Amino acid sequence: MRSGMSISPLRVGTLKRLMADHQYFSDWTVDQIRAVESQVHVVHAQPGTELLGLQEMNPYEFFLLQGRLQLQSASGETRILCQGELDAGFPIAHLRPSQYQVSVLETSELMRIETSQLRRFVAKRKNPVRFRLDGEIVGGTWQNHALVVELMRQLRDQSLELPAIPGIALRIRRAMASPGIDMEKIATIVAADPAIAGSLLKIANSVIFGAQSQCETVRDALVRMGMETAQNVIFTLSTKNLFTANLPFLKKRMLESWRHAIDIASLSAVLARYSPGMVTDKGLLVGLLHEVGAIPILKLAEAYPDLSATPGVLDDLLAALIPIVSPNVLEAWGFQEEFSEAARNHSNWYRDHAGGPDYADLVVVAHLHSLVRKRAFHKLPRIDETPAFQKLAAGLLSPQLSLLVLDEARSQIQHLRRLLA
């Protein structure tokens, strides 16, 4: 035990009270609390005490109950954490090894729990929901719904109807694959679709490509962007038409999925500019397609109109099944594995892997930016305490820059949303 610290055990009654007042544990049951009782302690720490050392492999998670702490990164950047703040509702310096030196600024009280015990229950959380079955509302979880059984059967039998690759994207891909790229031919293919051609010109003339002069023709836009970038942008533009449905409640959900895809694509494109090795237009496309699996799931959902009465069930279904279905769509469309990897792991906040940053890291950080105002509800980690951020931050991305992206790049994100809407 470090000097300046004292550690006391907790009784179940006290632990129940502390956890009831702590949003992170709001959905824990009495049985879960009893199961971890022996592994939870209260830590009293005096000013000047080092709670965690930089790069320390500590087996505990700490939650601030009272007081004030300072977190200092390896680069010397510091931030202050106070009781009552949003971040105080989450484990402090969660990653191991610790990415911060954590020091006590004033007399503080913390709750300490073994990491293995915390993960034991966090990993098993399920959201109970209600749904309509044969005219009767019953309790259960999304796993009980017949749609899940049917979807998994079709995936297993490889009979799930996947959306076809957009026609213009397929024609351009074939033209690009032929010996000797014929720019005039590709310009003709694009010009044959006035909506795509107009949007391509708008993007080519936008701040994204640092336009200082106007492109007047599709060919000019292709020259400015380069063929690979233009192909990615055209695929992005042509994807919108896939997000359609017949039933009103599914039309609404398709529109929400498309808007969400735009948000993540926009954020991924902006973040790519600050991340060495990342390409803006590719980040845009990876972000846009990361939840393309929503299309076949929502199409299949047309056979289950009961879902209209229980949107919570549909949300749970999509959250659980999109990471499974999206890679199937992307592989059928012939995309590289890195697209599928991003789709599988877009909400895997603690995903870690060997080597440098990849586009899955980019999409994870983009997702956390998009949910920054909903962190408490979703129990999300701080952006700069994820392996994805740490990999991206090995280049030019810093905690300050990352946390200001939404403000500093607001106009560019809004511009991208207008172009893709």
Choice between 23 and 238, residue whose per-residue pLDDT is larger: 238
Per-residue tokens: 234 = 């055209």
What is the pLDDT, as a whole number, of residue 342?
96
Q: Is pLDDT above 90 for 337?
A: yes
Mean pLDDT of 74-92: 77
Q: Is pLDDT above 60 for 393?
A: yes
Average pLDDT over the chain, rounded to whole?
82
Contact 323, 293 (CB under 8 A): yes
Contact 45, 104 (CB under 8 A): yes
Q: Is pLDDT above 90 for 325?
A: yes
What is the pLDDT, as a whole number, of residue 345?
94
What is the pLDDT, as a whole number, of residue 340?
95
Instruction: Of 5-9, 82-86, 91-95, 227-231, give the lowest mean pLDDT range.
Output: 82-86
What is the pLDDT, as a whole number, of residue 412?
67
The pLDDT tens digits for 223-237 are: 888 888 888 888 888
Contact 340, 331 (CB under 8 A): yes
Instruction: Of 182-186, 302-306, 400-404, give the lowest mean pLDDT range.
Output: 400-404
The H or E element that residue 168 is part of is helix 167-177
What is the pLDDT, as a whole number, of residue 123?
44
Per-residue tokens: 365 = 């950080």
Choice between 129 and 364, residue whose per-residue pLDDT is larger: 364
Contact 332, 161 (CB under 8 A): no
Contact 254, 333 (CB under 8 A): no
The pLDDT tens digits for 101-147 are: 999 999 999 989 888 777 766 544 444 444 444 444 444 566 778 88
What is the pLDDT, as a whole number, of residue 4?
85
Strand 136-140 and strand 101-114: the pairing is: unpaired
Mean pLDDT of 273-285: 85
Domains of the chain (ranges; CATH) run 5-122 (2.60.120.10), 167-238 (no CATH), 240-420 (1.10.3210.10)
Q: Is pLDDT above 60 for 195?
A: yes
Per-residue tokens: 344 = 């599988």
Mean pLDDT of 300-316: 86
